[in-house]
Amino acid sequence: MKIAKYALIFIFLIIIFFVFRYWSFANETLNISVLKTLFTKGDIRNIGNQTNILILGLPGATYDGPELTDTIIVVNYNFDKNRAVMIGIPRDIWSNSLKDKINSAYIYGESVKKGGGLILAKAEVGSVIGVPIQYGLAVDFDDFKKIIDYLGGVSVNVESSFIDNKYPIKGKEEDDCFGDEEFKCRYETIKFEKGLNNMDSEQALKFIRSRNAIGSEGNDFARIKRQQLVINSIQTEVFKKIGIFNLKKLEIFYNTIEKLIERDLSNQQASSILKNMILKRNFKIDKKTIPSELFFSPEFSSYDGRYVLIPLDDDYSNIHKYIEKSLN
């Protein structure tokens, strides 16, 4: 009993030390009330003790269609199970309400008002997967590279080797290639080998954006899995190189990414999730991708010559069932 008593006192002293050490950083830099985080459930929106966060990756101003979403991922966090499920959403799913692909939702929303991109994208993606999305964040790939550069690169465990002979070279999208009818000068060949790859920001970007790989890695579903791998690797690098106990590095990293990410999730709300992760312990993260078998691709002529994905049931009900099963 005495050992248990002293252990509790020791843990309490550690918590007190942690709170006072980070009090200023939390209040002044992060705008977080430490007392509110520690002693209340916070004001984070949730349904059934689950919160859904939409992550959007935008190509960047130097690419064609800079606000057509290139990456769509929903992260579901379950407070009771202390588990996150990362769900990859194909960008080419057709939206009947938009009369366009869901990757156009952000640009349509932004054309109405600043910040409308996240609002409309959350609504559209939520209707596809059948669960409400409470929060969202968006980052363009130019800024995405800056985050990886700050981390000094990422180590990614590539699941399948692939070669892409038609990776577009930035700035050469309109090059006439001196009359070459195949426009070969517009592209470069990229290659990734199966196994652990140490990638700089340029390599990581090519890895997640490649669309023309030979074989099974050439489809959007494989690309979604690669995006999830890189996001996982970034998470690992953040905890490994920065952690939560190196205050100086933590502050520099926060100030770096704060300027790069658009979001409607406050630091106070995010702290509720982090507190739950720490106190519940044994945090787990799973990766899911909506199966290709739930879609079909109609003739290009039916959709103005574009490649689109149509749900087999035409009302997303099978997708909803898949998501419900994945989350429960």
- Which structure tokens are listed for 4? 């248990």
The pTM is what? Answer: 0.84
DSSP 162-229: EEEEEEEPTT-TT--GGG-TT-GGGEEEEEE-SEEEEE-HHHHHHHHH---BSGGGGSHHHHHHHHHH
Q: Note the pLDDT of residue 262.
A: 92
DSSP code of 64?
Answer: S
- Whether the CB-CB separation of 92 and 71 falls below 8 Å is answered with no
Give yes or no: residues 7 and 79 share one domain: no
Give yes or no: residues 103 and 187 share one domain: yes
Which residue range forms the structural domain that includes residue 135? Answer: 31-327
Give yes or no: residues 182 and 245 share one domain: yes
Number of domains in the chain: 2
Residue 198: band (very low, low, confident or very high) from pLDDT cuts 50, 70, 90: very high
The 3-state DSSP class for residue 144 equals helix
**What whole-number distance in Å separates Cα of residue 258 and Cα of residue 106?**
20
Give yes or no: residues 97 and 243 share one domain: yes
pLDDT tens, position by position, 273-296: 988 888 888 899 999 999 999 999
Q: Note the pLDDT of residue 257.
A: 84
Instruction: Report the range out of 50-64, 198-212, 227-241 with the highest average pLDDT.
Output: 198-212
The 3-state DSSP class for residue 1 equals coil
- Which structure tokens are listed for 128? 């596809």
Give yes or no: residues 299 and 205 share one domain: yes
Give yes or no: residues 163 and 38 share one domain: yes
pLDDT tens, position by position, 19-53: 566 666 777 777 788 778 777 777 899 999 999 99
pLDDT tens, position by position, 217-257: 988 899 999 999 999 898 888 877 766 566 777 788 888 88
Give yes or no: residues 12 and 151 share one domain: no
Strands 135-140 and 50-58: parallel
The closest alpha carbon to 199, from 161, 154, 238, 232, belongs to 154
Instruction: Find the CATH number of the domain harbouring 309.
Output: 3.40.630.190
Residue 261 one-letter amino acid: I
> Does residue 260 surpass a pLDDT of 80?
yes
Give yes or no: residues 208 and 272 share one domain: yes
Give yes or no: residues 102 and 25 share one domain: no
Give yes or no: residues 175 and 312 share one domain: yes
**What whole-number distance in Å separates Cα of residue 156 and Cα of residue 201?**
12
DSSP code of 76?
Answer: E
Give yes or no: residues 152 and 22 share one domain: no
Give yes or no: residues 85 and 119 share one domain: yes
